[in-house]
């Protein structure tokens, strides 16, 4: 089993995803500021995993606080949440997790500092368990959509490493594989951070699921030749109308999939749906350091100081999306209605 993130007595432990697959190094963070920096620097990444790291970072900050009164703790809690909120803007799971921690704080505040501490730790650990459950449910529902023999293209990493375990898009692929379906995967390498080449390939190899790495610009070629039966990706934020923000390059894949009549599925927990955002164009897109493009694994591959653009995500309009597989069911067009119905459905993992 891949241990992406864990709460321990000595701090929050994360597998350093910047070093995979060459090295499997676990880092222990004892200070919430370091957890915030780990999210920003992509020690941990992937929307659901970012949410859990955010929650554990907040719990850690409060656990370590020297606040002598509940009023002091209020101020500390506010500045911890602000620091965590400033790390990465696109994945809504980060803000969803902060809101959840805020409501636990408000509920337990009247019972005193120790009660708040215990409740926040407990909440972050519960979120970890819930995420694995919700991914398994996404897998169970999503695998029904996969033919008994399927060549599946995926972009970025929406696997165990991007979640508390099992994965969303890779959860569907895992579930199909476990159901005895003959699946093989094309993994887009996903420049510039190489989540596909480094992380998706590593995970799938560990599970014995056949995987072929392709560079991002090869995806259209394989789809046009009839070598891809469906596409499955994760999401960082889904607007109320079903527009999907995901790793940069997803939009191009979706357009080419539609042109070639290939189903394009999105797999994400309901916590990735942001009903407050009416359309994808309002989703904030993170701009990352140009050096991530100038260099590959530290080696300069462009002229020094070349002007570079590095948006980390793009938005795929809902018309390219065949369905959104959530832990509460599969949403289909018209998404405004179907997503709202799933979000309001009770009995989900929240």
The catalytic site residues sit at: 236
Cα gap 46→39, rounded to integer Å: 10
Distance of closest approach, residue 238 Cβ to ligand MRU, in angstroms: 11
Pick the closer one to ligand MRU by CB: 236 or 243: 236
Cα gap 269→106, rounded to integer Å: 25
Pick the closer one to ligand MRU by CB: 138 or 223: 138
Pick the closer one to ligand MRU by CB: 100 or 247: 247
Burial class (CB in 10 A: 0-12, 13-18, 19+), 67: middle
Distance of closest approach, residue 71 Cβ to ligand MRU, in angstroms: 36
Distance of closest approach, residue 206 Cβ to ligand MRU, in angstroms: 17
CB 122 within 8 A of CB 4: no
Distance of closest approach, residue 10 Cβ to ligand MRU, in angstroms: 26
Pick the closer one to ligand MRU by CB: 174 or 247: 247
Distance of closest approach, residue 246 Cβ to ligand MRU, in angstroms: 5
Structure tokens at 76: 């500390």
Pick the closer one to ligand MRU by CB: 65 or 271: 271
Pick the closer one to ligand MRU by CB: 65 or 246: 246
Structure tokens at 223: 């789809």
Query: Which residues sit at the interface with ligand MRU, rule CB under 6 A?
Result: 45-48, 91, 156, 158, 162-163, 168, 195, 233-236, 246-247, 312
Give the closest residue to 328 by CA, choosing from 342, 311, 310: 342
Residue nearest to ligand MRU (CB): 234
Distance of closest approach, residue 50 Cβ to ligand MRU, in angstroms: 6
Give the closest residue to 117 by CA, choosing from 70, 163, 63: 63
Partners of residue 295 on adjacent β-strands: 300
Pick the closer one to ligand MRU by CB: 119 or 273: 273
What is the chain's length? 350
Helix pair angle (47-63, 92-108), 10° resolution: 30
Distance of closest approach, residue 344 Cβ to ligand MRU, in angstroms: 23
């Amino acid at each position: 089993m891949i241990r992406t993130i864990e709460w321990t007595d000595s701090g929050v432990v994360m597998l350093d995803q910047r070093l995979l697959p060459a090295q499997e190094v676990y880092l222990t963070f004892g200070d919430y500021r370091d957890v915030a920096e780990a999210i920003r620097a992509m020690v941990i990444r992937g929307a659901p995993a970012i949410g859990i790291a955010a929650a554990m970072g907040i719990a850690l900050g409060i656990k370590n606080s020297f606040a002598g009164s509940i009023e002091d703790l209020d101020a500390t809690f506010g500045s911890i949440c602000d620091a965590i909120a400033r790390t990465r803007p696109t994945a809504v799971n980060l803000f969803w997790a902060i809101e959840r921690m805020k409501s636990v704080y408000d509920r337990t505040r009247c019972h005193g500092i120790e009660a708040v501490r215990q409740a926040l730790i407990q909440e972050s650990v519960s979120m970890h368990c819930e995420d694995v459950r919700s991914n398994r449910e996404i897998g169970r529902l999503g695998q029904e959509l996969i033919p008994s023999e399927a060549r599946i293209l995926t972009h970025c990493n929406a696997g165990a490493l991007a979640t508390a375990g099992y994965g969303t898009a890779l959860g569907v692929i895992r579930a199909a594989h476990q159901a005895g379906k003959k699946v093989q995967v094309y993994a887009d390498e996903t420049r510039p951070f190489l989540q596909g080449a480094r992380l998706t390939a590593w995970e799938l190899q560990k599970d014995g699921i056949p995987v072929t790495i392709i560079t991002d610009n090869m995806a259209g070629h394989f789809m046009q030749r009839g070598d891809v039966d469906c596409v499955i990706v994760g999401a960082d934020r889904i607007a109320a109308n079903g527009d999907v923000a995901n790793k940069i390059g997803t939009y191009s894949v979706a357009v080419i999939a539609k042109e070639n009549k290939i189903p394009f599925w999105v797999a994400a927990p309901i916590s990735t749906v942001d009903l407050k955002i009416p359309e994808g164009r309002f989703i904030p897109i993170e701009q990352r350091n140009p050096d991530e493009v100038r260099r590959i694994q530290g080696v300069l591959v462009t002229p020094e100081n070349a002007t570079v653009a590095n948006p980390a995500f793009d938005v795929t309009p809902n018309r390219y999306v065949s369905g959104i597989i959530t832990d509460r069911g599969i949403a289909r067009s018209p998404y405004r209605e179907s997503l709202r119905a799933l979000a309001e459905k009770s009995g989900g993992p929240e």
